[in-house]
Amino acid sequence: MKKLLQICLLLLVPLGAFASAGIELEDADIDLTDHQSLENGAHLYVQYCLGCHSTKYIRYLNLADDFNIDQQEILKKVAPEGAGIYDKMLTAMNGHDAKKWFGTTPPDLSLIARSRGEDWLVSYLKGFYQDTSKQRGVNNTVFPDVAMPNPLWQLQGVQKAIIKTIDGREVITGLVITEPGTMTAKQFDKAVNDIVAFLVYAGEPAQVQRRSMGKYVLLFILMFGVIAYLLKKEYWKDVH
């Protein structure tokens, strides 16, 4: 019984962490048939995220094929300078440096949209706020004490949290921009949605890979079945 209670308490801890921010998740507005939005998302991702994160299953060629966009345009508009069309979307940062700088290695983001969900991702990218008690000067509403600096602050501007004390607990009830960035709120919403759309897309190619592998597995079973059948015939030939 004591053990059960302990497990229940453990399960409650993460819930408590989320409850400390009194704001709800944003609604992502993603359209995977909008290739322009996906291309823009990939472009912003390369500019603002690839410095630390990889999406190792995706090559620039995949973007051209899947978004139905000319390879040269992908190289010119999306890929970092000097990258080839067959290159994977890998960060140039090495894990050791990252660990030294951030205390943790920025994760590969290939499957992040599947594990966190698109609403969480939008809320995360829009949820950084100034917090001078933190090493990087920022905190995040959905990822408290996050080790990642706000990568989009120049676009978004400086954001502060409105904190109220409810039942003796400090709760964030909203966020306000105190110094504007280079984008309007509407432009920034679109930029974040496009990046998240790209991350949702990035979760798909792995699935496609798995499916195409499934074909080979079936083919193998079929071929093996034929061989087994022929063997059986050979073995039983003299018995009858």
Binding stretches for ligand HEC (CB under 6 A)? 48-49, 51-53, 102, 104, 106-107, 109, 112, 116, 121, 124-125, 146-149, 151-152, 195
Residue nearest to ligand HEC (CB): 49
Nearest distance from residue 117's CB to ligand HEC, in Å?
10
Nearer to ligand HEC, 64 or 146 (CB): 146
Nearest distance from residue 150's CB to ligand HEC, in Å?
9
Nearer to ligand HEC, 77 or 116 (CB): 116
Nearer to ligand HEC, 136 or 232 (CB): 136
Nearest distance from residue 171's CB to ligand HEC, in Å?
22
What's the CA gap between 170 and 17, in Å, rounded?
A: 12
Nearest distance from residue 220's CB to ligand HEC, in Å?
36
Nearer to ligand HEC, 62 or 193 (CB): 193
What's the CA gap between 131 and 159, in Å, rounded?
A: 10
Nearest distance from residue 105's CB to ligand HEC, in Å?
7
Nearer to ligand HEC, 56 or 71 (CB): 56
Nearest distance from residue 45's CB to ligand HEC, in Å?
6
Nearer to ligand HEC, 155 or 171 (CB): 155
